[in-house]
Amino acid sequence: MLDLRAKTDEQINALIRNHEDKNARGLPIYPLLLEERAKRAQAKRPLDFNKSLALLREAAMKQLCVSYGQIAEASGVEWSKARHQMNGAKGHLDGLLDICHAKGLPMLPAICVNKTNRETGELDPSALLGFAEGARRLGHSFSDAHAFHRARQEECWAWGREQKSGD
């Protein structure tokens, strides 16, 4: 077994890229690489993946969307400090996509939207682009990003109903 702890961040990222470039996401090492990258990112940033996942799980069970600010609040981080860590490649939401993929969870970041869009669940164009890029990086193929996002939200809520009935 490959000792991931002995690898540098750059080596972990290169291994992930190699798996993605070669469409080898189905190999058992790929989710382990994603988790290792997320674990390392967690050590460098105040936003807590576990707290974010707990909030998203609860929201999925309640059939709700959460705001980026609520994600920051769950970690006890002021929005002004969290907002620049939230989006983009290797941002907090992208890391959450990795963790969900690695753990076989639905794409829970699909239910995280701007505060003003919590009722509608709509993503702003730049957020939709980031979500779509993260999904494609993980091997999803689609032509309509909006429809893909909506379908992932529905998956989150269906999963949430299953969790609720299992409690």
Residue 167, pLDDT > 90, answer no
Residue 151, pLDDT > 90, answer yes
Which pTM was predicted?
Answer: 0.84
Q: Please say whether the beta carbons of 111 and 56 come within 8 A.
A: yes
> Of residues 31 and 143, which shows the higher confidence score?
143
Residue 67 parent element (H or E): strand 66-67
pLDDT at 1: 64
pLDDT at 155: 98
CA 106 to chain centre: 9
pLDDT at 39: 86
